[in-house]
Amino acid sequence: MASPKTEKATFACGCFWGVQAAFDRVKGVVKTTVGYTGGHLGKPTYEDVCTGRTGHAEAIEVEFDPKRTTYEKLLGTFFSSHDPTQVNRQCPDAGSQYRSAIFYHDGAQKKAASKAKDALEKQKKYSKPIATEVVKASAFYPAEEHHQKYLEKRGQFVCH
């Protein structure tokens, strides 16, 4: 849970390892946790989610200080960290667990996420429509410890 001075944002944009590294570089981000959300199985494991049958997405929960960064800035990081036109895949990873999704925590986040998605669509930066889902946040299950800060532990900054 976010502290009284921080807020929470949750995103899914493919493999969570590289996404965590991207959000960790944003000034004002206090903490990041990779995990699983958006599915129907309680307390899923990585192996469960990899089957593609739990409905969960690999996701990141971002705790941030709204006095040092904005939700809109985080949305920018989200959209620049993956190809939001891909349906259920990113790079070599395929399956619904790799979908593009913004999990909003309140009405303001829902409005900002929809506005950012619509603006990106209108820019026609991509030849295909934006596939990112904007859905209400549900239970978030942190991934196993060896997945947390995975790239950092290995001295890497990107997955692919």
Encode the chain (160 residues) as per-residue pLDDT tens digits.
Answer: 565 699 999 999 987 777 898 899 999 999 999 999 999 999 999 999 999 999 999 999 999 999 999 999 999 999 998 999 988 877 777 868 889 999 999 999 999 999 999 999 999 888 899 999 999 999 999 987 666 775 665 666 555 5
**Residue at 61 is within a domain:** yes
**Residue at 158 is within a domain:** no
**Residue at 1 is within a domain:** no
Whole-prediction pTM value?
0.90
Q: What value, to the nearest 5°, has the Cα angle with vertex 86 and ends 84 and 92?
A: 115
Indicate which CATH number applies to the domain containing 63.
3.30.1060.10
Catalytic residues: 15
Q: Quickly count: other Cβ atoms within 10 Å of residue 93's Cβ.
A: 16
Decide if 143 contacts 46 (C-beta within 8 A): yes
Residue closest to 140 by CA, chosen among 51, 23, 5, 16: 16
pLDDT of res. 78: 96
Number of independent structural domains in the chain: 1
